[in-house]
Amino acid sequence: MIKVGIIGATGYTGAELVRLLKHHPLVELVALTTQQYVGLPFAEVYPHLSGKVDLVGEELNIPALVNRCEAIFVSLPHGHALPVAQEVIRQGKKLIDLGADLRLKDPAVYAKWYRIDLDQSLDRAITAQLPAQAVYGLPELHRQEIRQAKTVANPGCYPTSALLGLAPLLKNKIIDPNRIIIDAKSGVSGAGRGLSLNTHYCEVNENIKAYSVANHRHTPEIEQELSLLAGGEIKVTFTPHLTPMTRGILSTIYAPLSVNLTLPEILKLYRTFYQDEHFIRIMPPHILPGTKMVAGSNYCALGIVVDERTNQVIILSAIDNLIKGASGQAVQNMNIMFDFPETMALEEAGVYP
């Protein structure tokens, strides 16, 4: 058994972590921190966990919390993870950050896209090394590094969907890497639990709209990991959309083929690339992925179409943004870090309809 704490437990991703970890046979949840609900039983914040969770929300005391735990999840907005990571390293514990602070290896790129200086209140000599030391936590691509890691940067939801869809093509160099278009739709839970006009019911209901066109913060994360796969710098066109559903991401990805391959040949390539990956589902040609296929699960459903008329391959990648796109993947990373069975607490099928 390991003792686990969750910082920021009362957001949507934090609550999903609580739900998943409460059913993990090798985890004891010992601390749930919150700003808004200090002193309130967690099951009163999320009544669906009544009778399952008896912990009370507590204020964050970083050194004391790290001392009590062997693994710490940080489920906070960007800009808050480095003090925790610094203390985790000092005490020799392990951390999985669900925010963006450790994902980008270049601090200048982070500062440009997130408009924040991570070093502003910490020891620069220490914090400058933290993103470089953290492992990017996409198990299907970085499993061996995750196994040895002390700090893991859990991927963003959009990047998870896009990277899993594109990895086999880029690794095998069968598409033009300079003409990739990623058109992605997400449910409203991806915006978090906080109030905002853009996620107000009247703004979202019976509406679909693009946002952060050409400047979404997940763009450099996608490009960083695709560039590693391709062995050279890649830039993509990425457009996210908000859809009137609670959870799920569907990415439709377009890329010109650089070699002549048929659909059966490309499907074989995908099945070979992901042959040992429990959470990847390659759909047969007559079934295209939808978000309902994976809702409530840690699976990624991939569908492939070859448009012979335009010589393009079209990849459809569906995930649950709160599970494989966030909390489920974080638990998957924890399992790898502690040498637990990777699927532990994550094997349930999704919920349908």
Which residue intervals of the chain bear CATH 3.40.50.720? 2-133
Q: What is the pLDDT of residue 260?
A: 92
Q: Are 80 and 95 in contact (CB under 8 A)?
A: no
Q: Are 94 and 337 in contact (CB under 8 A)?
A: yes
Pairing relationship of beta strands 249-256 and 209-210 according to DSSP bridges: unpaired
Q: Which fold has domain 2-133?
A: Rossmann fold (3.40.50)
Q: What is the pLDDT of residue 122?
A: 54
Please state which of the four CATH numbers 3.10.580.10, 1.10.10.10, 3.30.360.10, 1.10.357.10 is assigned to the domain occupying 157-322.
Answer: 3.30.360.10
Residues 6+ apart with CB under 8 A from 215: none
Q: What is the pLDDT of residue 258?
A: 96
Q: pLDDT below 50 — which residues of the chain?
A: 121, 125
- Nearest-angstrom CA–CA distance, 2 and 136: 22
Q: What is the pLDDT of residue 111?
A: 87
Q: What is the pLDDT of residue 349?
A: 87
Q: What is the pLDDT of residue 132?
A: 82
Which residue intervals of the chain bear CATH 3.30.360.10? 157-322
Active centre residues (catalytic): 157
Q: What is the pLDDT of residue 125?
A: 47
Which ranges constitute the DSSP H helices of 118-254? 124-127, 130-133, 139-148, 157-171, 201-204, 219-230
In the chain, % of residues over pLDDT 90: 88
- Nearest-angstrom CA–CA distance, 28 and 322: 22
